[in-house]
A and B are shown apart, each in its own frame.
Chain A
Amino acid sequence: EIVLTQSPGTLSLSPGERATLSCRASQSVSSSYLAWYQQKPGQAPRLLIYGASSRATGIPDRFSGSGSGTDFTLTINRLEPEDFAVYYCQQYGRSPTWTFGQGTKVEIK
Chain B
Amino acid sequence: EVQLVQSGAEVKKPGESLKISCKGSGYSFTGYWIVWVRQMPGKGLEWMGIIYPGDSDTRYNPSFQGQVTISVDRSISTAYLQWSSLKASDTAIYYCVRLGVRGVPGYYFDYWGQGSLVTVSS
User: Which of A's residues lie within 8 Å of B, judged by CB?
Assistant: 32-33, 35, 37, 44-47, 50-51, 56, 88, 90, 92, 95-98, 100-103
Query: A95 to chain B: which residues have CB within 8 Å?
Result: 59
Contact with A along B47-81 (1 / 0, CB 8 A): 10010000000010100000000000000000000
User: Which of B's residues lie within 8 Å of A, judged by CB?
Assistant: 35, 44-47, 50, 59, 61, 95, 100, 105-110, 112-115
Query: B100 to chain A: which residues have CB within 8 Å?
Result: 47, 50
Q: How many cross-chain pairs have Cβ atoms below 8 Å apart between A and B?
A: 52
**B interface majority secondary structure:** loop
- Nearest residue, chain B, Cβ from A34: B108
Q: Please pick, from A92, A102, A103, the residue contacting B108 in the complex, using a CB distance under 8 A.
A: A92
Query: B61 to chain A: which residues have CB within 8 Å?
Result: 97
> Is B44 in contact with A103, judged by CB distance below 8 angstroms?
yes
CB distance from B9 to the nearest CB of A (A): 13
Query: A102 to chain B: which residues have CB within 8 Å?
Result: 44
CA distance A31 to B102 in the complex (A): 19
CB distance from B50 to the nearest CB of A (A): 7
Sorted from nearest, which 10 A-B pairs have the closest CB atoms? A50-B108, A44-B112, A35-B108, A100-B45, A96-B106, A98-B47, A96-B105, A92-B106, A47-B110, A44-B115
- Nearest residue, chain A, Cβ from B50: A96
With A35-B109, A37-B109, A92-B107 known, 17 other A-B pairs at CB within 8 A are: A35-B108, A44-B112, A45-B45, A47-B100, A47-B109, A47-B112, A50-B100, A88-B44, A90-B45, A90-B108, A90-B109, A96-B50, A98-B35, A98-B47, A100-B44, A100-B45, A101-B44
